[in-house]
Amino acid sequence: MQRLTFIILCLLTFLVGFVHAQELPSWNETTVKQAILDYVAAVTTPGSADFVPQPERLAVFDNDGTFICERPDYPSSLFQAGLVRSFIADGTIDGTKMPFKAWNTFDKDALKKYGWKEAYQEMNAAFGGMPVTAYRDSARAFMDRYRHPRYRVPLARLYYAPMRELAALLNEHGFQLWVVTGSEQDFMRSFLEDATGVPPEHVIGSWTPAVSTQEGKEIRMVRGTVQVYNGHQAKPGNIETRIGRRPIFVVGNSDNDQPMCRYAVTGMRLGLALWVHHDDSEREYKYDRGTSDMADLVKEKDNAWRISIAKDWKRVFQNGVLDVKSE
């Protein structure tokens, strides 16, 4: 009888392990994966004490460094710098003046010295009047054409395999997934649905409000000149303004994401916050500091977790991207 109990327990352990291995297959069997699966079960199982009705299951992913590789440069910034170059080439922008001179050569030191905030604002103002569709077409063409210097594939193939699986798992469990990013909103919308399934209406980036005018019988839609920043404290603020619900599941990778991660784990509903920690120079990049606002949040809250790329992810990329062993 004891032997039978032992055999049944072994079988059950094997079965549970098998089911978990089927879910999130690119994740190692660590406490983080377990915490995610436990959380999703807790908020989606009817009758659970922490059950959350389907309309309130709002998940938010940061983009750069959380959903997609952000090194050596932000895809959005690379695209916009290229657009500056084409505007200099056709004489629309004076390339001898700052900050355009520095955008032209992607001179990050000069841009930092000039002030990142001003450099971005003045660049986006220079795109004012451009038809929104032309801007998006140009962004999409960049994403199709540009190859990552290390992995040698288009950037859209560098969305992390474990995060794509997490997005699918959340979707299967009735979550709506939004991407809330500092990257430029129209750039993101040009490719994100094809790359990840997240539709344009679920993208909140740093945005330049569109300006509609009527010329005769047509509505003309062009980019405005003022940029609304979407980083740090602006992220939870813009989530409230644009979505109007508090997210219960937020994933970020930098202190820029700490406010929205904190927002998710301090509401009435049981929340979960995840922090992608870049500690794997072999397969990806290693650049995070050991102490940060995000590290403090993980220490403070039982429902905030640090994801170690090195330890928690079985593989980093998919779609034929090689896990290159060294840079």
Q: Which residue of 101, 148, 242, 315 would you call a contact of a second copy, by CB under 8 A?
A: 242
What is the C-alpha R_g of the chain?
A: 22
What are the beta bridge partners of residue 212?
221
Q: Which residue of 98, 211, 310, 324 would you call a contact of a second copy, by CB under 8 A?
A: 211
Residue 196 in contact with a second copy, rule: CB under 8 A: no
User: What span, in angstroms and rounded, lies between the C-alpha atoms of 202 and 38?
Assistant: 26
Antiparallel, parallel or unpaired: β 218-223 and 210-215: antiparallel
Per-residue contact track with a second copy, 36 to 65, x per CB under 8 A? Answer: -------------------x----------
Residue 78 in contact with a second copy, rule: CB under 8 A: no
Helix (H, G, I), strand (E, B) or coil at 82: helix
Listed ranges 75-83, 121-129, 182-190, 284-292: which one lies at the site for a second copy (CB under 8 A): 182-190
Among residues 238, 210, 236, 212, the alpha carbon closest in space to that of 225 is found at 210
CB of 57 to a second copy, least distance (A): 12
Residue 125 in contact with a second copy, rule: CB under 8 A: no
CB of 186 to a second copy, least distance (A): 8
Residue 189 in contact with a second copy, rule: CB under 8 A: yes
Long-range contacts of 30-37 (CB under 8 A, 24+ apart): 30/311, 30/312, 31/305, 32/274, 32/305, 32/306, 32/307, 32/308, 32/312, 33/312, 35/272, 35/305, 36/166, 36/169, 36/272, 36/274, 36/305
Per-residue contact track with a second copy, 126 to 155, x per CB under 8 A? Answer: ------x-----------------------
Instruction: State how far the alpha carbon of 125 is from the alpha carbons of 79, 94, 211, 226, in Å.
Output: 16, 14, 13, 6
What are the φ and ψ backbone dihedral angles of 180, each rounded to 5 degrees?
Answer: -120, 110
CB of 184 to a second copy, least distance (A): 12
- CB-based contacts of 196, cutoff 8 Å, min separation 6: 67, 159, 164, 167, 179
Structure tokens at 2: 């004891």
Listed ranges 86-94, 145-153, 255-263, 310-318: which one lies at the site for a second copy (CB under 8 A): 255-263
Residue 241 in contact with a second copy, rule: CB under 8 A: yes
CB of 305 to a second copy, least distance (A): 17
Residue 22 in contact with a second copy, rule: CB under 8 A: no
DSSP label of 130:
-
Residue with tokens 């937020």: 250
Residues 221-240 that bind a second copy (CB under 8 A): 221, 233-238, 240
CB of 296 to a second copy, least distance (A): 10
CB of 217 to a second copy, least distance (A): 7
Question: What are the residues binding a second copy (CB under 8 A)?
Answer: 55, 132, 176, 185-186, 189, 193, 199-201, 203, 207, 209-214, 217-219, 221, 233-238, 240-245, 259, 262-263, 266, 300
